[in-house]
Amino acid sequence: MHEQNMAILKGLVPVAWADGRFADEEQQVIEALLDAFQATPEEAELLNSYAATPRTVDDIPISELSFDDRRVLLQHAVFLSHVDGDPSEPERVLIEQMAKLMRIPDDEAKQLLEAANERAKRYMNML
């Protein structure tokens, strides 16, 4: 698995923990992304160990993410916030903090978040 993909997955862990619990549905998304990114068993174990502890926005490995990776992470974060129901207030706040921390301009972040929310709502109805 590429290092950037591990950084994206680590960046999703704070979103999963934002509401104080790491829901089974969120774990399933992480597992699916591990498969999609072709993680080795060792990489999967490393991420699962990392995710076992509550994480915050300060734990996101920003320096390991490219310009494009930061946008991918933000969109994945929105999707993850929807998998266990409507996004909670702590999840929404954390995602907004992520956008600022990753230095995504406000106008661009707003567009990315709106598009990602619409996409997530559409796909959640398919599950």
pLDDT, tens only, 60-100: 999 999 999 999 999 999 999 999 888 999 999 999 999 99
Note the pLDDT tens digit of each residue in 17-50: 999 999 999 999 999 999 999 999 999 999 999 9
Q: What residues contact residue 52 under an 8 Å CB cut-off, 6+ apart?
A: none
Contact 24, 89 (CB under 8 A): no
Two structure tokens written together for 127: 């599950």
Cα separation, 84 vs 98, in Å, equals 20
What share of the chain has pLDDT > 90, as a percent? 91
Buried b (16+ CB within 10 A) or exposed e, 59-88: ebebeebeeebbbbbbbbbbbbbbbbeebe
Total-model pTM:
0.92
